[in-house]
Amino acid sequence: MQEPRGTHVPVLLERTLELLAPALGRPARRAPRVHVDATLGLGGHAEAVLAAFPEVTLVGLDRDTEALAASRQRLARFDKRVRLVHAVYDELPEVLDDLGIAAVDGVLMDLGVSSLQLDVPDRGFSYAQDAPLDMRMDQTRGNTAETVVNTYTASELTRVLRVYGEEKFANRIAAAIVRERAKQPITSSARLAELVRDSIPAAARRTGGHPAKRSFQALRIEVNGELETLERAVPAALDALDLGGRIVVLSYHSLEDRITKRAMAPRARSSGPIDLPVELPGTGPTLRLLTRGAELPTDDEVTANPRAASVRLRAAERIDPDAVVRTDRPRRVKALHQPAARTAGRSGGGDRRAPAEQSHEDEHKGEGT
C-alpha cells in the first residue's frame, strides 16, 4: 500500500529525540542497542531514530497491518536494523522474548489513533467522512464500532460515552442510538455523527469543536480496549528497560496520561520505610522522571502540526536503586500540633506542565505519527 502523503507529521519529534538521545547514543552495554517503537504507525518517529542513531536496532510493533505495510516501505533502507512485528504494545514481553532480547535502551509509545487511521476514509474513525462503522486498529480481529452501537444496552453505551469520552450528554446520546437502531441498524459514521449532533442541545453545539468528537473517541477506545491495554503496557515497557534506558509516552487524553503517571510515579519513589535515616538496599527509586509533570506542546509545534494540540508528554529513565545511598532522609514527624503546610504560588514563564488531570480529547491525535 502507499503511504498517505501530506498527512504524516510526527508529533513532538525533536523533543522525543532529545529525550531518547542519552540512552540511544551512549556506549552499548551489550550489542546492539535496541529501541522499541511500541506504536509504530506510519513510522515517522522510527525513521528519525534510525537516521539519528546508526548503531540502534529498531523493534517496531503495531496492531494495524496496513500501518506495518506502510512502515516497512518507509524503513526499507534500514532493513538490516529493523524488526517489525504485528502485535499490540502490551504484548511487548512476548515479542522481546521471541526475538531473544533481554533488555532495551529506549521505548516510545505514541498513543491514540494514527494519521493512517484518520485519513483513510473506510476505517470509520472520523466523524468528518462517511464510512462503515469499524474503528478497529487491527482489522483482523475484535468487535467493530457497529457491533457496539447496535448491541450494547443504553446503560452500557452511557458508560462508554461518559467514561471514555467525558461526554456530558451521554444519556441523551445513548437513548437516541437505541431509538434509532430499533428502526434499522446504524451502520455508517455519518449517520452516527448526525444522531450525536441532534442529541446535544443547540447551545452546547456552538463551542468545543464538532459535537460528535467525544462520542467517536469513546467508541474507538472501547472497540480497541485502549485503556486496559495501556494499563498493562506501560509497566511491561518499564520492566523491559535496561539501566540507563529511557521511555517517552505521548498521550492525547486525560485518562491515558493518568494511567502513564500512575505507572511511573511509584517507581520514582523509595519503597523503604520512611523512618529510617538511610535507604535500605534495593528500596531506592528505579526510575528518574525526566519531565515536570506532563509536558505540553509549544505554540510553534501546534502551529506546524495541529495534531499535536492535545498531546501530553511524560518521560523517565531506568536507574539503579542502589547506585546512590541517601543519608539525609528525613524522619517521619508526627502531625499532632504541627502547623498546616503552606503552598506558595510561583510564576512559570517557561513551564509547559499540563493542568492536573485535565481532559484533552481531540480527534486529531496520532498513534505512531
Q: What tens digit of pLDDT does each residue of 97-130 get?
A: 999 999 999 999 999 775 555 555 555 556 667 8
- Rounded Cα distance between 268 and 261, Å, is 11
| pLDDT at residue 203 tops 90 | no
Antiparallel, parallel or unpaired: β 241-251 and 56-62: unpaired
Residue with cell 456552538: 206
Q: Within 10 Å of residue 67's Cβ, how many Cβ atoms?
A: 28
What's the confidence (pLDDT) of residue 359?
A: 46
- From the list 143, 139, 59, the residue with the least C-alpha distance to 97 is 59
Q: What is the pLDDT of residues 9-44, one digit of tens each?
A: 899 999 999 999 999 998 866 678 999 999 999 999
- Confidence band (pLDDT; 50, 70, 90) for 358? very low
Is the pLDDT score of 339 beyond 50? no
**What pLDDT, in 10s, does the model give residues 290-311?**
999 999 999 999 999 888 899 9
Q: Sheet with 287-289: list strands edge to edge.
A: 82-86, 56-62, 33-37, 104-110, 241-251, 312-318, 287-289
Q: Would you state the pLDDT for residue 168?
A: 94
In Å, what is the CA distance from 98 to each residue of 9, 57, 94? 31, 15, 6
Q: What cell was used for 253?
A: 487524553
Give the amino acid at 57: T
pLDDT at residue 331 tops 70: no
pLDDT of residue 60: 98
Least confident of 107-121, 197-211, 249-263: 107-121
The Cα 25–Cα 105 span in angstroms is: 10
Residue 261 has pLDDT above 60, yes or no: yes
Res 54: pLDDT: 95
- Among 2, 8, 62, 73, smallest CA distance to 37 is for 62
pLDDT of residue 209: 76
